[in-house]
Structure 1
């Protein structure tokens, strides 16, 4: 083989390795997006934890384990009857697959479920009901559905398949087959690039105060801005478009908040009947619009409302550091670090 051909072959191999690494990186990010969104949803109505070791100290991990609180389920009627509420209504494990679920993955999920069930019974020192297993598959797992006898779940929407015997307590959800309705929009964000993109558009069309937007927006924004710029050109077109549409939606949301702040400021200024009042109203409207949106994102990241002192600190930080720096911190810092940053008078 000539030196030129050898160099060309080595270059092609390096390029393939880079592409494979890039794809793995994006699959990991989208898997994390799904787990984070599900944790936020189930966290509204009970205890929810991702990456649960089975058993403790083992390398196996459950994507999401949740235990509902009946009082919280009653307190959140906005989670309408449908697949998500059914999933959240009883203890269970959720496994997320960015491709099509295979036989090996199914066996692995069942093994984790039984080991975790055994661990829970040892802790409780009594018999416990077998928890449900929900397996979310972005692609249609033809082999699993056929070879293991899964059938359409008569109690669920299209796209949900139940094991042949109810006592197995295993459901496979084929994300691509879920109906395009509001109650499935968060689950559809866990689908393939095409399904995810349609779900993003459906999410953007919901009312501004929709609980689904509050749950998903911070994680979508974080995903879209943490993808390195050098990766974007090499992504599949639908994934790249999804990232860019998410950024555009976030920027549009901020702009709309600012515009509403300006309108309120103008109205207050006019009511006072003086030009100075209008100008100050506009300025305050912009500031309050920025502060309100940033405070909302902080609350979502922290999982609780901001204290008065934290709101005051946030206003000072926006004024001192600017919207770009504060936005970067809110989207990238873990919850504990974000709380400490808000409490630090010398934060940078």
Structure 2
């Protein structure tokens, strides 16, 4: 009877729908034990979900408690981020489980603002996160994250990423003078970025957010071929001109076999800071249309409000400066959705060789 009850209850919990992956919990139900009508369930998600764990625990609790043979229920919800597959011929860099590229087909859609807040939102959900500013010609992250000074090095070989609100951060903007124009040709820019990526001493990151430069030219394509990326996010606005460029960006990622996890629509509406009136000043439905056309999930929509832009200008993005703000909560929902969709992608099954040091 006890084994039959345990099997039945585990089946019930495993069938609970996960709104972030769009799939049943399934193997996330690591263990379920029944002793004299008392049930203990252990749920281990494959993506960070601190903002949802309590709600999920309640859903599991209520599902189990509804069974007439159950007297008491205890539910634990945790997470473990796994390493996912990257482009063929590339291997993940030491210290980074997954690289997520934030891309836009054109400039002016708020991609860097999205990248900074997405990184902080993933961190708020419980992950260890870093951010790499890949825009060599126009680095934005030093100002957005309030980075000051320059990074330290270890024995002259490795760069120690700078700390920014708990993130590990690196940008060409902290290696050169603030007003210095980068007049490098494409190959030099690509080499500089690759060196920043590979020579930085990233420490036990679940996710490294790469804020790619806008566009789909030779530089972006080359970077996508040289940096091992587990998944990409396409940022757009509702305007058709931005949507057209997302289509090109998605095609670029398809050519280099990087899965696009979904579309994020920024500046979806404008919210008046005085009266709260919400208006679709850039049109509406562009993100949803391109997502449907490309067969991609819609990760979420972020409204345009004064606090969002002001916070990044001040070096403290809204997710960290106003964590309870509706826009901050929206970013956390998008972060959970993004990480969850990555979690159902193919895992990296390559065996890492250990580092061996010979000490006399």
Same fold, TM exceeding 0.5?
Answer: no
More helix by share: 1
Based on CA coordinates, which of the two structures has the bigger radius of gyration? Answer: 1
Sort the TM-score into its range (normalised by shorter chain). under 0.3
Q: Which has the higher contact order (CA 8 A, sep 6+)?
A: 2
Whose strand fraction is larger, Structure 1's or Structure 2's? Answer: 2
TM-score (norm 2): 0.27
